[in-house]
């Protein structure tokens, strides 16, 4: 009869004493769900990326690196990568900077402050699709609010979403509006954690408000800024909903982004293996950028 080795029994007993078993039991539902709906599909995507996949008929043909090689000769995918980078590099710093400015303003006392804070945060809790539909109308060249304002200011109307030159910019503007409230709230929390003694000492030393902002606020908020950059960066690379609703990737692929391209290849052209390869490239891009951001951020770690 099989008897478990003594060290195994000891390990279980030790785990029991230290409550490891209980802890794992408690988190096991989450681990199970996470594994089933996150880890397993991710591994399956990696697997599919080396195959030509016909999902409905369950037919898989091994093609090695063919999908990845094709990707680098695909102008539309490369265009989508460039658009995604342009989008991310525009939205992440602008949205973070705007959030910081708003947070500093909201750190002061003034009437209706909480109401205004709610107004700025509201887009964050609004459905992206619903908000994008409203913005589609705001961008309408004939009836839209934005062109009405331009006309009032005697400025020429803009084609907004209708031109390859302005469409991506229009999506960036929408996304900034959508994310700035979240960044503001995170920065407000960061600002409230900075001890007031720093500002008092700086005031006694004769530092102006601007100097205090650059020499105290910005450096001490570095960990918050790092979090915001990483968080917004990851989401920026995954942009999809607003692009699908506002432009569908057009005009002429001018706003096509990686996730939309994955969606098109998988669910409109039924090239699941190829779409899986695109998803792996996106995963690698996000991973590399996150590692760079983490490493860079270590330089700005602060304790107070």
- For residue 141, the minimal CB distance to other proteins (Å) is 4
Q: Which is nearer to other proteins, 11 or 76 (CB)?
A: 76
Asked if 252 touches other proteins (CB under 8 A), the answer is: yes
Q: Which is nearer to other proteins, 105 or 162 (CB)?
A: 162
Backbone phi and psi for residue 26, each to the nearest 5 degrees, phi listed first: -65, -40
Binding to other proteins by CB under 8 A, coded x per residue (else -) over 45-64, reads -------x-xxxxx------
* Angstrom distance (rounded) from CA 201 to CA 203: 5
Length of the chain (residues): 304
Is residue 123 within 8 A of residue 181, CB to CB? The reply is yes
Residues 6+ apart with CB under 8 A from 59: 53
Q: Which residues of 104-131 are buried (b: 16+ CB within 10 A; e: fewer)?
A: bebeeeeeeeeeebeebbebbeeebeeb
State which of residues 126, 146, 148, 163 lies at the interface with other proteins (CB under 8 A).
Answer: 163
Asked if 150 touches other proteins (CB under 8 A), the answer is: no
Applying CB under 8 A, the site for other proteins has a residue count of 32
Q: Could you tell me which of 49, 56, 10 has the C-alpha nearest to residue 275?
A: 49
Asked if 79 touches other proteins (CB under 8 A), the answer is: no
- For residue 31, the minimal CB distance to other proteins (Å) is 24
Q: Which is nearer to other proteins, 160 or 237 (CB)?
A: 160
C-alpha distances in angstroms, 231 versus 157, 224, 238, 290? 35, 10, 11, 9
Asked if 223 touches other proteins (CB under 8 A), the answer is: no
Residues in region 86-125 near other proteins by CB under 8 A: none
Q: Which residues of 163-201 are buried (b: 16+ CB within 10 A; e: fewer)?
A: beebbbbbbbbbbbbbbbbbbbbbbbebbeebeeeeeee
Asked if 161 touches other proteins (CB under 8 A), the answer is: yes
State which of residues 5, 196, 268, 303 lies at the interface with other proteins (CB under 8 A).
Answer: 268
Residues in region 274-293 near other proteins by CB under 8 A: 274
User: Which residues would be at the binding site for other proteins (CB under 8 A)?
Assistant: 52, 54-58, 70, 75-76, 140-142, 157, 159, 161-165, 247-248, 250-253, 264, 267-271, 274
């Amino acid at each position: 009869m099989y008897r478990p080795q003594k060290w195994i029994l000891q390990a279980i007993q030790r785990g029991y004493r230290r409550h490891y078993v209980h802890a794992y039991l408690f988190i096991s539902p989450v681990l199970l769900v996470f594994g089933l709906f996150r880890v397993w599909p991710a591994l399956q995507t990696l697997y599919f990326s080396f195959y030509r996949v016909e999902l409905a008929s369950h037919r898989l043909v091994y093609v090695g690196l063919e999908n990845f090689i094709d990707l680098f000769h695909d102008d539309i995918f490369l265009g989508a990568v460039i658009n995604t980078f342009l989008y991310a590099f525009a939205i992440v710093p602008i949205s973070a900077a705007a959030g910081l400015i708003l947070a500093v303003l909201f750190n002061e006392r003034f009437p209706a402050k909480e109401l205004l804070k709610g107004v700025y945060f509201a887009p964050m809790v609004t459905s992206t699709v619903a908000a994008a539909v409203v913005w589609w109308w705001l961008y309408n060249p004939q009836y839209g609010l934005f062109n009405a304002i331009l006309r009032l200011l005697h400025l020429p109307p803009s084609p907004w979403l209708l031109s390859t030159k302005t469409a991506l910019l229009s999506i960036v503007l929408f996304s900034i509006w959508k994310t700035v409230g979240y960044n503001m709230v995170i920065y407000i929390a960061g600002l409230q954690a900075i001890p007031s003694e720093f500002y008092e000492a700086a005031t006694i030393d004769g530092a102006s408000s601007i100097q205090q902002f650059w020499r105290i606020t910005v450096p001490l908020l570095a960990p918050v800024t790092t979090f915001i950059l990483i968080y917004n960066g990851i989401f920026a690379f995954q942009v999809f909903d607003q692009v699908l609703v506002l432009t569908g990737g057009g005009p002429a692929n001018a706003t096509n982004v990686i996730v939309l391209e994955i969606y098109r290849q998988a669910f409109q052209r039924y090239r699941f293996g190829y779409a899986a390869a695109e998803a792996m490239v996106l995963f690698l891009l996000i991973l590399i950028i996150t590692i760079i951001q983490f490493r860079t951020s270590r330089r700005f770690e602060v304790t107070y």
